[in-house]
Structure 1
Amino acid sequence: MAQETSTKQEQFDRIAKGKGFIAALDQSGGSTPKALALYGVMEDAYSNDDEMFDEIQKMRARIITAPDFSSDKILGAILFEKTMDNAIDGIPVPVYLWEKCGVVPFLKVDKGLADEQDGAQMMKPMPDLDALLARAVAAGIFGTKMRSVIKEANETGIKNVVAQQFEVGKQIAAAGLVPIIEPEVDIHSATKAEAEAILKTELKAALDALPSGTKVALKLTIPNEAGLYDDLADHPEVVRVVALSGGYSTDDACAKLSQNPKMIASFSRALTEGLNVSMSDAEYNAALGANISKIYDASL
């Protein structure tokens, strides 16, 4: 138990204070075919969901075992449930991440997005969340991530998204995990800046209402106004504020992120940009290493 507690503290300190970024390796059912296609694995390469997830597991294993995927520049990695349950070289993926790479493992726990209402998409119900959290704790997971999407500056929609995120976040914290709360603002929204201003107000109120000692991280779209979320990063209950790339290219995302010194990256598509299944190991490792360095530099 003492060993477990010291590991948790080490992981907490790494996420709270470490230099680097959190890699998002959590594409799930809906986004997997697109992620595979960008990687050069087309839909004719698999004939069912199991084969599709085998392909994405190979892709993720190649990333995780690459020489530059290490604690030098990467603080944590967010996994999809099937990845958490999988292994690399016979070692469970969460254990491999921490013991071989020095990277803190997180788990995506949401079940996808509900239909749009009041300019936002809340999360679908998660009736089996407690069971999943128990499995995550047993697997050595440190924290979780869950995503909602805000499409427009609609106060009702944004209030509902934040309320749901924090309600589930408290359930996750009670299970002994650190929740990453992710109310993404769509980068294509015509009212993005206005939505971000409303979101900041709602997040501040929700953070202030948390029971003392309930720690959360925030994963937010890089704001139009540089430094908008700086004071949220300084909130006593916030472990870290991380940024999603949201569809920006790697270069655009890194340029925008560098204007927000209290945010670090948690990029998915930007991390894997330019990688292809047909690359030699040397080509692949060089391309991934360049992406990692670019995202790391923007996160400093």
Structure 2
Amino acid sequence: MNTYTTDTSVKPDVKAFFDPDTNTISYVVKDPDSDACAIVDSVMDIDYAAGRISYRHADEIIAYVQEQGLKVEWLIETHVHADHLSAAPYIQQKLGGKLGIGKNITVVQDTFGKVFNEGTEFQRDGSQFDRLFDDGDTYKVGGMECLAIHTPGHTPACMTHVMGDAGFVGDTLFMPDGGSARADFPGGDAGELYDSIQKVLSLPDETRLFMCHDYGPNGRDIEWETSVADEKALNIHVGEGKTKEEFVKFRTERDATLDMPRLIIPSLQVNMRGGELPPADADGKRFLKVPVNAL
């Protein structure tokens, strides 16, 4: 396992935006010493039954950034989400910034390019993004050094992004009473997920961890911030020293009982393109495909 160096003395300001339709939390992360910021895991709204896209959630983030006088330097996707659509290109058009994702986006694009029968015109090289992060890569938001950690298992392209004392884990972990995300999507692996979680838990105990999703287990209020120390002690799936074998057995059995996410079909088609809709046909119309018995 790699040893990752982080500086928990740097404490970015983190503003969360919760989307109740998809139980997704997006973040604006501000460098404490400048007006530079990053936006993590934005959401584009979809009325699936009506086939209508809108940007209410993204507009809230844009308004906040503008009101605070911030400069967007990065738009980060922790992974290719299967339960919500990314608004990154829309926000990028309004506010600028570079769009980044893990380099194994190419694996995801190859897998789902075939599922959705995209043909040769769909580029499977990650060129829809401005930066493809490798494990251990660093980048800056203002003067704040940020670290990308490859944390596969939920998907092959999952990354945890550490900005100062704040880690954005995507779907690698949930709040301690939520446990962990599923590992049964194409390219997912429960053993890899366990190893990835151990990478996150090897960060300093005081590191703040921010979730991509929360579902309010047992009726509690929605929460999205915890810490490495609390996850190690309290996480119901991996806390208190649970073994890899115990985790894989539990995760595999549980995943076999889960339905596919409600928005998986539109989400994958859009998100593997960096948040862009499929190209228009000769009449200017855009379509999302529904593969039958393919997922």
TM-score scaled by structure 2?
0.32
TM-score scaled by structure 1?
0.31
